[in-house]
């Protein structure tokens, strides 16, 4: 199965604030970004999936030629009590512990990177059991990085070494089993 993963378009939100699952507004450039994106998607998908956040569903609905299926497993990392706070407002001791081991440490009322990875792995394994030939997924940068980690089997601590820009398109092959999974291409 061919999986087309697209990160949502730019947002209009303070870069000094923490956000993951917080709903944030899209940039005023959305209509121009959408025109660029239309050239990256193909005409025919067996299914279209999206994170339930507006910044993803809006793009999926505009690009889609069929029903958009939202799935909570495609949400960005849950930063819990840190959502919407300035990074400088977050308890620096707690932030330091998290930065030292974000794979296993979570913000208060949030989730660890490992928990996020497991929910995304669950989504991928469920998708593998379908008869789809080609799917489109509109989601977040962290989710796309987890797809990379899943397909290439590298340590989660290295996840943020992969740059994922707004509205980038990644194509993966999801084989009948993991040994046949691969990266097909990256488009900007």
If you ran DSSP here, which 8-state letter would residue 120 be given?
H
3-state secondary structure of 185: strand
Q: Whole domain around residue 70: which residue ranges?
A: 2-187
Q: What is residue 182's predicted lDDT score, i.e. its pLDDT?
A: 86
Q: What's the token pair of residue 70?
A: 């939202």
Average pLDDT, the chain: 93
Report the pLDDT value the prediction gives residue 46, as an integer from 0 to 100: 94
Res 65: pLDDT: 66
Total-model pTM: 0.94
Q: Which two tokens stand for residue 130?
A: 């379908």
Which structure tokens are listed for 38?
């239309």
pLDDT of residue 68: 95
CB 153, CB 143: distance < 8 Å: no
What is the chain's length? 188
Instruction: Please give the pLDDT value at position 188.
Output: 66
In percent, the amount of the chain with pLDDT more than 90 equals 83
In this predicted structure, what is the pLDDT of residue 185?
Answer: 83
Extract the residue ranges of the chain whose pLDDT is less than 70. Answer: 65, 188
At 170, which CATH number?
A: 3.40.50.1240
Please give the tally of structural domains in the chain: 1
Note the pLDDT of residue 42: 82
Beta bridge partners of 113: none
């Amino acid at each position: 199965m061919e999986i087309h993963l697209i990160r949502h378009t730019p947002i209009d939100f303070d870069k000094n604030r923490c956000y993951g699952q917080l709903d944030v507004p899209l940039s005023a450039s959305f209509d121009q970004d959408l025109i660029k994106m239309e050239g990256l998607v193909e005409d025919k998908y067996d299914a279209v999936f999206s994170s339930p956040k507006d910044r993803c569903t809006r793009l999926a609905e505009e690009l889609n030629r069929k029903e958009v299926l939202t799935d909570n497993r495609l949400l960005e990392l849950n930063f819990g009590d840190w959502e919407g706070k300035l990074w400088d407002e977050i308890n620096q001791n707690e932030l330091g512990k998290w930065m030292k081991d974000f794979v296993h440490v979570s913000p208060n009322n949030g989730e660890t990177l490992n928990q996020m990875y497991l929910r995304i792995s669950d989504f991928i394994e469920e998708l593998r059991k379908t008869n789809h030939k080609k799917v489109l997924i509109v989601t977040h940068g962290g989710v796309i990085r987890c797809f990379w980690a899943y397909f290439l089997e590298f340590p989660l601590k290295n996840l943020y070494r992969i740059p994922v820009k707004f509205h980038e398109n990644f194509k993966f092959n999801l084989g009948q089993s993991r040994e046949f999974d691969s990266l097909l291409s990256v488009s900007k």
